[in-house]
Every structure is written in C-alpha cells, then in structure tokens.
Structure 1
Amino acid sequence: MTGRRNIEIGIRTLLILATLVIVIAGLKAAERFFVPFLLALFIATVSFPITAWLRRHKVPRFFAVITTVLVDFAFLAGVVLIGVTLIGELQEKWESKYQAQSTQKLAQTEDWAVATIVKWSNVPEEEARRNVRAYVTEDLTKQLSNIKVEDIVGLGTNVVGRVTAFLGAAFIVVLFTVFMLMEARMFGRRLSLIAEARGPNFERMLHAGKDIQRFLGIKTVVSLATGFLAGFLCWAAGLDFFILWGILAWALNYIPVMGSIVAGIPPTILTLVLMGWPSALAVGVGYVAINTFLGNFIEPMMMGRRFGISTLVVIISVMFWGWVWGPVGMFLAVPIMMMLKVILENSYEFRWIAVAISKEKGELADDEKELKEAVEAAETVGLAEGTAPEVGASR
C-alpha cells in the first residue's frame, strides 16, 4: 500500500512539473495577450475606488467608468510626456555642460590617485600616471567623449518608435480596463449566483480579490510617496531635473529591491559630477533612508502580516517574470506573486506553499504552528480525495 502511494505521489509530482513547464512556455509565447491583460487588471484594480466613489455620488456607471479611464490615462500620459521631455533636456545638457565637468572631475581624480600612489610607494610620478590612465581614466574618458548628440537623437527616435509600437497594445489595455471596471460590481454577484446554483464556492476568491486590491492601492500610495520624497531630496540638494528623478523613483518602486537601487544611481552619479563626493554621499544616503523608512516600516505597517513575501522569493520572482515578459514582467512581478500567494492562502491543499514563501514574522513558534496547520490541511484534503473512490467501490 505504501509503495503504491509513493508511486502515485511520484507520478503526480512529475505531472505537476510537466504542467508547469507547459504553462510557462505558454505564458512566454502568449506575451502579447497576457501583458496588456495584466496591465489592464493592474490599472483597473488600482483605480476601482475612483469608479466606486463616482457611483456612490449617483454618477451613471458608464460615465463613471469613462471618467476613471480618462483620469488614469491622462495621468500616465502626462507622466510619460514630462519624463520624455526631461530626458531630452538632460541629454542635451550633458553634452553642453555636464560632459566637460565630468571630464574635469576625472582629471582631478587622476591627479589625486597619482599623488596618493607616489606618496605611499616608490613609483615615479610618470609611471604612476601612466598606470592610472591605462587601468582607469583612459577608458572612462573615451566613454565620456563618445556620448554625442547623434546618440541622443537616435535614442529619442528609438523611444518614439517604441511608444508608437505600444499604442496598439495601449488601445487594448484601455478596452480591457473599461470592461473590467464595467463588470467589477456584477462579477461578485455572478459568483454568488454560481454558489447558489450549487456550483463551486468562490467566496474565498472574492476575498482574495479584495486583498489584492488593497495591496496594489497601498503599493501605489507608497510609490507616490517615494517619488515625492526622492524629488524633494534632489531639489534640496540643488540637483537639476529633480522632477525626473522623482518620476523615476515612483515608477521603479514597483520593482522591489532592484528598482529602488537603480532609481538612486543616476542622481547620485550626477551629484558626484557636479558637486563632488560629499554631496553625492548625502544624496545616496538620503535615497537609502527614504527606501528603508517607507519600504521596511511604513509599507509593512500599512499592509500588515498577511501581505509579507520573503525577500528571496521577491528577487527570484522579479528575475523570473522579467525573463518571461521583459521589463513589464519585472514591473508586475510582485502583484502577480501577491495574487498567487493570496489564492494559495485561500486553498486548503496548497496553503503550505503560501506559508513557505511568506516573509519571516519574527516569532518562530507561530510560523512553525501556521506551517504545520497548513500541511495538515493539505494532507486532509489529499486523504479525502484518495479515499472517495474506495468508498464508492465498496458500495
């Protein structure tokens, strides 16, 4: 009996793994469908409170949905327009002003490195300067001098081409968003009718949808706060294009761990070029403080224990969904993982997976108890499924 059960478990595991491979291949192949759909789901989930507020104020459903969609895409279009404009100005200013200053800073760094080597070793100054140029400054100087206006125009053309190519997908996103908002209220009623008709009980899925909506709303608020504080920090430091750095911090904050790091690199480097390393250090520390305060204190406090995901799982999910769907996959990695986690939490059989990927809560005894209960629940479901055929056969 035990051997037969082990064989069944092995076959079931192989089938699950094979199914996962097929599903992943399908997700990667169907990128053009799933990416607009998930973007629309993300936008509709975040903006549904606007529609609900308008409906409470007696605005007809159609006009409430259209108003919500117009507000959403007017905001996104404004952000993109401002961002592209500021990037163009930044690139032009780089060639006219920042490039010369960066070359000067590089020459000063070379002089400092040569003086330090001569002071602490017996190497002649000419040899020390030759070594510093060969290993450090020469390549950097060439790279700085290779940044031309032609490259900027080419980059701008590439961006315009990408935006134009995305307009078709954006139209699909708008359609998806409109219909999702139109059907949002009726969706819950239909699931209740299915349950009343003795169909599957989707009450747990409705609860999961509310949890995901709350998560995305909190993440959006925290991202906006991150962008505002980052822009204010750059403005206080006297850095140019502080609005651009705020937009960058807001957008990349949706990509956990890596997004915040990437958002802080350009303004820190620009501060180093224009103002020196003390100011650059202050800006870098400011970015770390903002992300630490909001990401490690405010966001967990607002979300509570239910939404915690292990940092390792987050990093792996960002890399995985980035591989599947590119930058959009990295952007949607955490919302997707939250959907999966909440769905797994509301499943008796697979709840142990949700517990396993959750963030450590600090009290090991509680975690072990929760994991044990989840595994026991899964085993109970498995035993019930396995014994059902035998009961039928005995009859």
Structure 2
Amino acid sequence: MNGINHKTKTSQILLTIAAFVVVVAGMSAAKVILVPFLLAAFIAIISAPPLFWLQRKGFPTWLALLIVILGVLFGGLLMAGLVGSSVKDFSRDLPVYEAQLKQQSDLIMSWLDKLGMDLSNLALTETFNAGAVMKLVITLLNSLGNVLANGFLILMTVIFILLEASSFPTKLQTVLGGPGTSLVRFDNFVSSVKHYMAIKTLVSFATGVLVAIWLAIIGVDFPLLWGLLTFVLNYVPNIGSIIAAVPAVLLAIIQLGLIRAVLAAAGYVVINLLMGNVLEPRFMGRGLGLSTLVVFLSLLFWGWVLGPVGMLLSVPLTITAKIALESRDDTRWIAVLLGPGIQSESKTETADESTSKSQ
C-alpha cells in the first residue's frame, strides 16, 4: 500500500508540473490577447476606489463610471502622446548626443593621456555609444506604445469590469452559498490588492512628478518623459526605480557633463529613499505576504512570460497564485514557501481578519 501511495503522489507531482508547463506555454503563446486583458484588470482595480467613492457621495452609477472612464481615457491619451513624441524626438536628437559624447570622450582621453596612460587601443566611443545608451528607453517606449495601440479593447474591458465590480461580491456569495471561509479569504485578497494598487499608484505618481521637476531644474532633456518612465517602472518592485534612473543619468552625462549627472543621480536616490522607504511603508500598512526573493523571481518569470507588462503586473499576479494555492490543503505548503515566513504570515492573516471584522 505504501508503494502504491508513493507512486500516486509521484504521479500527482509530475502531473502538476506538466500542467504548469502547459499553462505557462499557453499564456506565453496567447500574450497578445492576455496582456491587454491583464492590463485592463490592472487599470480597473486602480479605478475601482474612485468609482465607489463617487457612488458613496451620491453620484449615479452611470455618472460615476463616466467620470472615471474620462479620467482613464485622458491619462491614456496623454501617455500615448508623450510616448509617441518622445520616440520621434529621440530619433531627431540622437546625432547631437553622439557628437556631445564624442567630444566628452575625447576630453577624457586627452586628460588620461596627460597622466601617462596609453589608451590608444581603447575605443571608448564605440564601447559607450549613445545609440546603445538610448536603446533601452526606445525599447520600453515602443513596448508601451504597442500596448496602448490596443487602447479601445483595453478601455472597453475596463468599462465592463467596473460595471460588474459592485455586483460581483453578491454573485460570489450566491455561488458559495453564504459568507463562508472562502468568501472571507477572497474579500481579504481583493482588499489587499486594492490597497496595494491604490497606495502604489499614488506613491509612483508623486515620485514621477518629483523626478520630472528635479530633472527640469537641472536642465536634462525630456523631463516629462523621465517622470513618466519613473511612474511606470515604480510598479516594478526592487529594481524598477534603478532602471528608470539609468537612461536619464546617462543622458545627463552626455548632455550636461558629470557634475549635473551626479546631481541627477542624487535626486533619484533621495526621492526614491523618501518615497519608497519612508512614505510608502507608512501608508502601505500591512504587506501582501511575499518574500523579497519571490518578488524578484516573479519579476523575472512574468517578464519572461508576458514581456514588459508582465514585469509591471508581477506582484498582483503572484499574489493571485498564492491565494489560489492557499485555498487547497495539498498546495498550501507552496503558498507558505512563497510567503515571508511563518511569523510574518500569521501577522498578516491576523491583520486581515481584524480588518474584515471591522468592516
């Protein structure tokens, strides 16, 4: 009997792994359709709190929805216009940056040559090419532009999700047959994700505005673009702010010299330390129960499966998977491994339970 049980467990594990591979391959193959839908869900989650707030203030549902959708549409058009004009301006100004880079590299080579260093075989300009410096930015802008090209599909999906948002809890309670444990757990999950998205959006927006203002004061070209890039990449945990800072600082080196580039980098560091390590934890309150390693690995995994938008949505998608794993006894151990630890996990659950009771 033990041998049979062992074979059964082994078969279940192999079947689970095979199913996981098939699902991931299917998601990667269908990312052209899946990415706009996930982005629409992401926007809908961010837009839901303002919608519910307007409804509580006495606005009819149709008027509250119209106001929110107009806000989303305005933000999308503004972002699309900024992305499109930035790609055009980059292509136009790239020869200027290359000339400035060559001039600065020649000065550095001359200075090092006076110190007695033989740099005749060092091709500094070819190694540090302005086109290569901006390649990452242009790639990110093109990826974002491709997603925004599906704007109508995304907008319609957001509208339908928001229309169903208020009635979905009632439908779920009817399906589950009453307010049971599963419904409480789902409510806690939705509340956690909405809380995370709302705070993260506000903090990211404030970070982007401060970065744009600082770079405009220094004199770096395209400050609005760098502010937008900071706002978008701030959703990417751990390394998003670093990725956002690199192209702006490199452009500052090419355009304004080393001193102002150091000022630009210092501004990024101060702003991100203030917003990410001081204000965000204070407003975020309870965490979402993921270890730092899992957050980083989820960033790589979802970026590989779904592209740049997958990196943006890595935390919400991983949280969804964790909640699904927690709902079954035979997969709960995987959810524990994804969490920050037994003690932190229990604290989070206690906070969630107290929150649900207070509601």
TM-score, normalised by the number of residues in structure 2: 0.83
Q: Which runs of 5+ in 1 are unaligned?
A: 119-127, 374-395
Q: Distance in 1 between matches of 2:111 and 2:217?
A: 29
Name the counterpart of 1:174. Answer: 155
Preserved CA contact (<8 Å) 1:310 1:358? yes
Instruction: Please give the per-residue CA displacement for 1:46-68, whole angstroms capped at 9, x wherever unaligned.
Output: 00112112222333223322321
Greater relative CO, 1 or 2 (CA 8 Å, sep 6+): 2
- Alignment correspondent of 2:317: 336
CA distance in 2, matches of 1:235, 1:344: 47
Find the counterpart in structure 2 of residue 92 from structure 1.
Answer: 92
What amino acid maps onto 1:58 in structure 2? G
SS in structure 1 of the partner of residue 120 of structure 2: helix
2:26 maps to 1:26 = yes
In structure 1, how many angstroms separate the alpha carbons of the residues matched to 2:93 and 2:224?
Answer: 16
Kindly provide the amino acid, as one letter, of the partner of residue 251 in structure 1.
V
The equivalent of 2:280 in structure 1 is: 299
1:247 positional shift: 0.9
Is 1:274 the counterpart of 2:273? The answer is no
Alpha-carbon shift at residue 163 of structure 1 (Å): 4.7
Q: What's the counterpart of residue 219 of structure 1?
A: 200
Letter aligned with residue 274 of structure 2 = F
Cross-structure match for 1:81: 81
How far, CA to CA, are the matches of 2:325 and 2:45 in structure 1? 20
Q: 2:290 aligns with which of 309, 315, 320?
A: 309
Superposed CA offset, 1:292-339 (max 9, x none): 333334333333343242232222212211221112212211221122
Check 1:162–1:282 CA distance in 2 against 1; reply closer, same or farther (3 A cut): closer
Q: Report the equivalent of 2:126.
A: 139
SS at match of 1:256: coil
Work out whether residues 230 and 287 of structure 1, in 8 Å CA contact, stay in contact via their aligned partners in 2: yes
Partners of 2:79 and 2:25 in 1: how far apart? Answer: 34
SS state at 2:166 partner: helix
Alpha-carbon distance between aligned partners in 1 of 2:276 and 2:340, rounded to the nearest angstrom: 14
Q: Is contact 1:227–1:248 with CA below 8 Å preserved after alignment?
A: yes
Select the structure of larger CA radius of gyration. 1
User: Within 5 A, what are the aligned runs for 1:160-309?
Assistant: 163=145, 167=149, 169-196=150-177, 201-309=182-290
- Structure 1 residues 2-11 or 30-39, which shifts more? 2-11
Moved more, 104-113 or 77-86: 77-86
Mapped partners of 1:47, 1:79: distance in 2 = 17
Q: CA deviation at 1:267?
A: 1.5
Cα 1:313/1:117, change in 2 over 3 Å: farther
Q: Cα 1:58–1:213, aligned 2, differ >3 Å: closer, same or farther? A: same
RMSD value, Cα: 3.3
* Code of the aligned partner of 2:167: M
Q: 1:11 to 1:145 in 2, by over 3 A?
A: closer
Distance 1:54 1:145 in 2: 47
- TM-superposed deviation, 1:164: 7.5
Over 3 Å counting, the alpha-carbon distance change for 1:370 and 1:249 in structure 2 is same
Residue 80 (structure 1) shift: 2.3
Identical columns (%): 33
Q: Number of residues paired by the alignment?
A: 344
TM-score (norm 1): 0.76
Q: Deviations over 1:150-204 (max 9, x none)?
A: x9xxx89x95x9957853x322212211111111111111112223379994332
Q: Is the 8 A contact 2:76 2:148 kept in 1?
A: no
Structure 1 stretch 1-10 or stretch 43-52: which is displaced more? 1-10
Q: Deviations over 1:228-257 (max 9, x none)?
A: 221122123232322221111111112223
C-alpha change, 1:308 and 1:272, in structure 2 (3 Å) is farther
Q: Which residue does the alignment assign to 1:68?
A: 68
Task: Name the residue aligned to 2:116.
Answer: 117
Q: Is the 8 A contact 2:230 2:241 kept in 1?
A: yes
Q: Aligned residue for 1:104?
A: 103
Change beyond 3 A, Cα 1:234–1:52: same
Give the whole-Å Cα distance in 2 for the aligned partners of 1:198 and 1:348: 20
How many Å apart are 1:87 and its aligned residue? 4.2
The 1:236/1:106 distance shift into structure 2, 3 A limit, reads same
Cα pair distance change 1:302/1:349, threshold 3 Å: farther
Name the CA shift for 1:220/1:277 in 2 (closer, same or farther; >3 Å).
same
Paired letter, 2:210: L
- 1:352–1:297 Cα change, 3 Å: farther
